[in-house]
């Protein structure tokens, strides 16, 4: 029997399948993944459903038709493929962070290198202050395949303004208001990780003062970019 949620939200689901499939192209483009090791997902608005990449399918073969719809317990609701091995992690994040509309996981080189050291990325650049509001935190070491990683992400973000978590000895997870935002955060994270690493090769990077971090974060989040005119 077809799940009634599919018919009720058909337009949103189909739109998100197209979007999530297309967004995966950004991961190899910005050198955030190798082979099939990465995934993007999106919450279906107003539901307990999400759209996520299938497991083990190469990026150039991803289409809207290969995307998988699951509920927030990770059970497949629609799709011909098994969902990503990180499905339980994404689902846990959506179930516990209602403001999150997109989740991305990669093994991008520099961010993963920081996670292998279990060391937060210190806030030493204005770009990092703008985008992340401080240090990039490290989450706990957790097994892949169940909700442990998702729980670590949620618990770590509870005490941080960051939209990124470096899961210890694993790699980065990023969240956003939607899937595109989460991909942007993943791209920015890798650039920040690379810059701070390179700086550390020249000496000890200089941290920004907290007042400066707060001011930059507020400006970027509330002033920077285009704003919709009041109607």
Q: Give the residue numbers marked as catalytic.
A: 130, 224
* Angstrom distance (rounded) from CA 156 to CA 126: 22
Give the separation between CA 228 and CA 217, rounded to whole angstroms: 20
User: Pairing mode, if any, of strands 138-139 and 164-167?
Assistant: parallel
Half-sphere exposure of 114 (CA within 13 A, CB side): 29
Buried b (16+ CB within 10 A) or exposed e, 89-117: bbbbbbbbbeebbbbbbbbbebbbebbee
Q: At what angle do helices 109-117 and 179-202 cross, to 10 degrees?
A: 70
Nearest to 88 by CA among 152, 17, 6: 152
Closest CA to 190 of 104, 126, 100, 112: 112
């Amino acid at each position: 029997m077809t799940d009634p949620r599919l018919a009720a939200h058909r337009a949103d689901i189909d739109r998100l399948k197209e979007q999530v499939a297309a967004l995966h192209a950004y991961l190899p483009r910005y050198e955030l993944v190798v082979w099939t090791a990465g995934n993007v997902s999106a919450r279906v608005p107003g539901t307990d459903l999400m759209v996520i990449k299938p497991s083990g399918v190469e990026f150039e073969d991803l289409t809207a038709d290969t995307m998988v719809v699951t509920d927030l317990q990770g059970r497949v609701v629609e799709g011909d493929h098994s969902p990503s091995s990180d499905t339980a992690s994404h689902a846990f994040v959506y179930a516990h962070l209602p403001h999150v509309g997109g989740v991305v996981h990669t093994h991008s080189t520099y961010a993963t290198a920081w996670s292998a050291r279990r060391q937060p990325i210190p806030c030493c650049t204005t770009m990092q202050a703008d985008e992340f509001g401080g240090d990039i935190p490290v989450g706990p070491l957790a097994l892949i395949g169940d909700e442990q990683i998702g729980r670590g992400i949620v618990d770590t973000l509870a005490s941080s303004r960051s939209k990124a978590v470096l899961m210890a000895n694993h790699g980065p997870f990023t969240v956003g208001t939607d899937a595109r935002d989460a991909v942007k955060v993943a791209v920015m994270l890798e650039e920040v990780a690379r810059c701070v690493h390179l700086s550390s090769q020249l000496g000890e990077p200089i941290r920004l003062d907290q007042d400066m971090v707060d001011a930059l974060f507020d400006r970027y989040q509330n002033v920077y970019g285009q704003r919709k005119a009041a109607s």
